[in-house]
Structure 1
């Protein structure tokens, strides 16, 4: 790659990396705040919190990378023009095709990475996220049940533990009002968590069960030596994992199992997810061409570029919104696939025509004056 092209490539690549990091950090922070209860309410470590929130980064990057590339292209082209470098390049015989070449090299690299993230990294990360969330939920006793606190495990189910000594729980109180107006209260001197055949039980020892059918009735009390309270519905370990279309491997979307209950219920979701993954690499290319078509030509300092920048931003936003709408429409009808692929391809082709197809206006012939005619004679 010649020195000039390396210069443009490096300038745009640095801007792209910086933009992508900033955008990802901002969006990741907003997403991370939603998962803050993993640390505060569910007693997990900061490392588990970072792992869970970090697994959402591939999904964010696929959306943010084309936008960051568009912003980097606009910034670098504006800077080149503001420093009169585009004018100098044009005067030295550097045409638009050569100016576009390093930008396209960067765009192809971004498109390849976006394609890999869409086809492989996103389903892998979402499956890992599902696994981690399941483990957090399954670790309800080890990390949620704290000494001296009334801990709500579910709406209508509260557990209190007086003391934890090693693997034993002392002074256990469990109140279950999920089947209102019926109220069941468990009291036990001690207990422990037992996992058996994929199920989790809170085994209570030396206690009693108080069952009240209605608030105006006396409770029925039963004393027990040993009682097993099933925690499996709250851990999620006993459930058969049914992955959403976004969590499925691309091969599963391309050739779905016709007997799969999820596919029978929402076949359109599988189709839309597959085409969305395949079309994602086209958006960096379309966004880059839109930016180049809008502000890729040199202009003097008297010619404002604000309208070109605003027009490029509007075209980019409209294209992305239309693409999302076409993907949603694909759930209902397979013919929407034409719009899913046609929008970025058509936008890129239109941008290429605007950048190279239009011929600049030929300057008007100079007006000859009588004095000039006499001088030439």
Structure 2
């Protein structure tokens, strides 16, 4: 019978946690998604990108965004749920019925474990695939909507090694006062300056059709400089070689298995970046459990008092922010020194143990208090 009551209470607590979690998650994703979307709205209004491309770009960032905010949302949902239960004296009622804090924390632990599984799937598989598609789509936009990448009086780099500056873009899409600096060839550097230019799309790729200007070339082999004045000049912005290079997938675009077992040869820096990304994903799983327990014990530890509760809430929020910053800091720390990896795992485990000991400590104090009263 007691087991049935415990099951009902755990189910009730899970419902109390899931509601705030979904509400906060949707709200935060909506806010951040809207902030990210604002970067692309100008491209639709002034540069001709389709609404379909806009939706694709913004939707593909959601999995990575969701995975990154799960730890803090877990903390917020647990804190809000248990503060509500505490303010309505439901926690006191459970304690009076003989239900210990460890029984109460069972439901948040199950909820945290479910979030760990969801986060692992998102971080290890869904987010890397969506980020890879996002980067591929960005490259396609560079080719198909190359003119949308240029802004007035801003230096931009549509292709690695090429820098473009445009003084003005008129309503017909003509680029006026244009400078193109091309350093893709290690043996030669080209600089084109023209009064105006248009983007011409061909099967071979996009070209600048420049009018009234000059082309400067610096040859590093024979240390010579040549200058050519032109009335009209076509300048391709594809790679110099005819073979299209396969785009290198960054750490955020690879599954956790790929990060630990890369197929290609990598530089030392890329190896460290891959290792850092992989370990950050795993460490964040421990942080989720720490966050959910932290949010729960904020209401369970100590006596209920409004002033003390505010103080506890401040300490709790500070700890949660510190844990979130800890996750962010793991990548640069691992890149700097891989020897620190065991310590980075140990810290969240120790934090979880400390949080649980706080509950255990309260239980000892309660038992001691009851014993003293009986002796009297």
TM-score greater than 0.5 by the shorter chain: yes
| Cα contact 1:326–1:336 (8 A) shared by 2 | no
Q: Does 1:112 align with 2:117?
A: yes
Q: Which has the larger radius of gyration?
A: 1
5+ residue gaps in structure 2? 157-162, 182-188, 217-226
Q: Does 1:281 align with 2:293?
A: no
1:343-362 correspondence runs (5 A)? 343-358=347-362, 359-360=364-365, 362=368
1:14-25 correspondence runs (5 A)? 14-25=19-30
Q: 2:85 aligns with which of 41, 56, 80?
A: 80
Relative distance call for 1:222 and 1:57 in structure 2 (3 A) is closer
State the Cα RMSD in Å: 3.9
Match of 2:258 in 1: 252
Match of 1:193 in 2: 201
5+ residue gaps in structure 1? 165-171, 214-218, 369-377
Question: For the residues of structure 2 that align with 1:313 and 1:191, how far apart are their CA atoms?
Answer: 52
TM-score by length of 1: 0.75
* Paired residues, number: 341
Relative distance call for 1:134 and 1:301 in structure 2 (3 A) is same
The 3-state SS of whatever aligns with 2:202 is strand
1:287-302 correspondence runs (5 A)? 287-297=291-301, 299-300=303-304
| Cα contact 1:39–1:46 (8 A) shared by 2 | yes
TM-score by length of 2: 0.76
Question: For the residues of structure 1 that align with 2:301 and 2:215, how far apart are their CA atoms?
Answer: 81
Question: For the residues of structure 2 that align with 1:82 and 1:328, how far apart are their CA atoms?
Answer: 41
Q: CA deviation at 1:14?
A: 0.4
The 3-state SS of whatever aligns with 1:193 is strand
Q: CA deviation at 1:303?
A: 7.4
Q: CA deviation at 1:239?
A: 4.6
Relative distance call for 1:223 and 1:49 in structure 2 (3 A) is closer
Question: For the residues of structure 1 that align with 2:321 and 2:169, how far apart are their CA atoms?
Answer: 52
Question: For the residues of structure 2 that align with 1:152 and 1:334, how far apart are their CA atoms?
Answer: 37
Q: 1:314 aligns with which of 315, 318, 324?
A: 318
Question: For the residues of structure 2 that align with 1:329 and 1:63, how far apart are their CA atoms?
Answer: 18
